[in-house]
Structure 1
Amino acid sequence: MQPRHFLTLDDCTPEELLGILRRASELRRLHADGAVHTPLTGRVLGMIFEKSSTRTRVSFEAGMAQLGGSALFLSPRDTQLGRGEPIEDTARVISRMVDAVMIRTSSHDTVTRFADHSRVPVINGLTDDAHPCQLLADLQTYFEHRGDIRGRTVAWLGDGNNMCLSYMRAARLFDFRLRIAAPEGYAPDPSLVDGDRISLTTDPAAAVTGADLVVTDVWASMGFEAEQQERIAAFRPYQVDAGLMAQAAEDALFMHCLPAHRGEEVTAEVLEGAQSVVWDEAENRLHAQKALLELLLLKE
């Protein structure tokens, strides 16, 4: 029997995704109440990090501990991956020893090749093409603060990066409108745009006007640090400040997957302001991933 993987949001149906969000909120309440919930006792998650991380590592490691299991941190420096062992061979070996694998890397092909040769579920902790676990946390946060996102409008400001691409998938699966504002040369591939739900613009005000959720990310993602100054110049008009947020819906929320560069993609006033839910969003990585782990490891 083939294992169930989570490489993009498309690996789940809309109904399954909604179930993950509901379960994540339940797990958040259980955690806040101090309840002991250990359905993954004896289970082990292998975590392969080819890109550095704070939230991904802490949330998966803490999540497995809270569910009664354990997690192993693996980096290229500490494994044969760093000495050129093929990813397919690593997958065959590691998946015989653990119950699930999470991978955070650059190339999406690395995750798919690993999954193709794994005996156990593989979770995408981040690639250059997708960041599905972060989208689970974002959507959980919106549902907890504002209810169903169906029919709402989300404004994405900035780079057409993995987060932007994941929001594009989410727009189709959760049936919301997505307006993407990006400078020329930095927008996602127009061929990926679903015209019924997704629109592209170079005008940040046009994207934000009346939006229910405003989202941004750093202007130079990991791997693009050499372009930092060039990107600052290109993205400066896309900074989320109080003036821009004022054009969104009155009860609009602001999200950022973090880490944030105050004074670049977002001002400190907005990041620390009343409309910002970034700290709940960050915490919900823990709860959403626990719900995902339950789905992958406990469901028949």
Structure 2
Amino acid sequence: MLTAIKARIAAGTTFAGVESVLTPPSHHSLPDEPPAAEDILAIFAVARRLRADASAGTLGQPLRGKNLALLLETPPGEEQSALHRAALELGARVAEVRFADPGGPAFARDGIRGLARMLGRMYDAIDCAALPPATVRQIELEAGVPVYAGLGLDDHPARALADLMTLCEHRPAPGASIRFLGDPTTPRARAFLRAAREVGLAESEDATLVVDAAHGSHWSLSGPAGPLDALRRSENHRCMMQTLLLETIVKA
């Protein structure tokens, strides 16, 4: 099932078709063409299967023996991130690595290059969290393994896809529409709205499905019966990240 969406939701803030939603994070701008509806629905199907397997206790450890590095600008905290927990659930070994960029052209040219190569030898995939885009691109070019530009962050396409999947599971009818509140020009909003249109969720002022994005990165979703379940949103986000981890690491 995962092979059908191979190389189509890789890291970065891009949101081009499933091929480029999974493309290397060296592409950081949103493309003109949205992902095709069948590609989005294929991703949803994989994420839902992972959710069902986790609920039934049959998920297994498909990433057992794989190593994921989470590069952090600050010292690792006591609480694990959502991405950390999602990878552990798949059986991966996760290391939180403090990344300090001293700056300067010499380090940018030689230091990051050497560091990326070393990380590529030690780990099967690398997440760069909130590192600058130029640094992420350099690491991706040199590491030789999948590199994510903040897979667990709010502005990554995985979050937009997870929210869209949650709304699709609560829409009252196939022709339902959504009302979007907030700035529609942010990368996350553009990714979300493009994908929503592809799966048949047009915008309407009187829609019963509401996305309130007026408060920065904290989005709230509401359906005909009121606010959508926060636990289900969290589960969908976890499963969306796991879908991308499996497709990029196992198939790399």
Q: Same fold (TM over 0.5)?
A: yes
Distance change in 2, residues 1:21/1:161 (3 Å) = same
The answer to which of 106-115 and 41-50 deviates more is 106-115
2:246 aligned with 1:294: yes
2:64 aligned with 1:59: no
Post-superposition shift, 1:51? 8.1
Post-superposition shift, 1:36? 4.3
Residue pairs, 1:85-96, within 5 angstroms: 85-86=107-108, 87-96=112-121
Match of 1:155 in 2: 179
**Which residue of the other structure, out of 207, 215, 232, is the alignment partner of 1:280?**
232
2:127 aligned with 1:122: no
Distance change in 2, residues 1:17/1:293 (3 Å) = farther
Post-superposition shift, 1:94? 1.3
Give SS of 2:68's match. Answer: strand
User: Do 2:83 and 2:152's aligned partners in 1 also have CA atoms closer than 8 Å?
Assistant: no
2:209 aligned with 1:212: yes
User: Do 2:140 and 2:147's aligned partners in 1 also have CA atoms closer than 8 Å?
Assistant: yes
Distance change in 2, residues 1:110/1:82 (3 Å) = closer
Distance change in 2, residues 1:147/1:72 (3 Å) = farther
2:161 aligned with 1:136: yes
Residue identity in the other structure for 2:15: L
Residue identity in the other structure for 1:105: A
User: Do 1:141 and 1:284's aligned partners in 2 also have CA atoms closer than 8 Å?
Assistant: yes
**Of the two structures, which has the highest relative contact order with CA contacts closer than 8 Å and spacing of 6 or more?**
2
Give SS of 2:60's match. Answer: coil
Residue identity in the other structure for 1:124: A
Give SS of 2:127's match. Answer: strand
Structure 1 unaligned runs (5+)? 179-206, 223-238, 246-251, 255-272
Listed one character per residue, the Cα deviations across residues 108-147 of structure 1 (whole Å, up to 9, x for unaligned) are 4443343233311122326999421211211222233338
Match of 1:83 in 2: 102
User: Do 1:45 and 1:98's aligned partners in 2 also have CA atoms closer than 8 Å?
Assistant: yes
Listed one character per residue, the Cα deviations across residues 65-116 of structure 1 (whole Å, up to 9, x for unaligned) are 1111111112xxx33x343343444333212211111222164444334323
Listed one character per residue, the Cα deviations across residues 161-215 of structure 1 (whole Å, up to 9, x for unaligned) are 332232244246545435xxxxxxxxxxxxxxxxxxxxxxxxxxxx642253423
User: Do 1:95 and 1:120's aligned partners in 2 also have CA atoms closer than 8 Å?
Assistant: yes
**Which residue of the other structure, out of 111, 115, 123, is the alignment partner of 1:98?**
123
User: Do 2:72 and 2:96's aligned partners in 1 also have CA atoms closer than 8 Å?
Assistant: yes
Residue identity in the other structure for 2:241: Q
Distance change in 2, residues 1:70/1:144 (3 Å) = farther
Structure 2 unaligned runs (5+)? 1-5, 22-34
Distance change in 2, residues 1:33/1:128 (3 Å) = closer
Partners of 2:53 and 2:132 lie apart in 1 by 36
Listed one character per residue, the Cα deviations across residues 222-261 of structure 1 (whole Å, up to 9, x for unaligned) are 9xxxxxxxxxxxxxxxx98xxxx9xxxxxx629xxxxxxx
Q: TM-score with structure 2 length normalisation?
A: 0.69
Distance change in 2, residues 1:141/1:24 (3 Å) = same
Give SS of 2:58's match. Answer: coil
Partners of 1:114 and 1:173 lie apart in 2 by 33
Distance change in 2, residues 1:127/1:292 (3 Å) = closer
Q: TM-score with structure 1 length normalisation?
A: 0.59
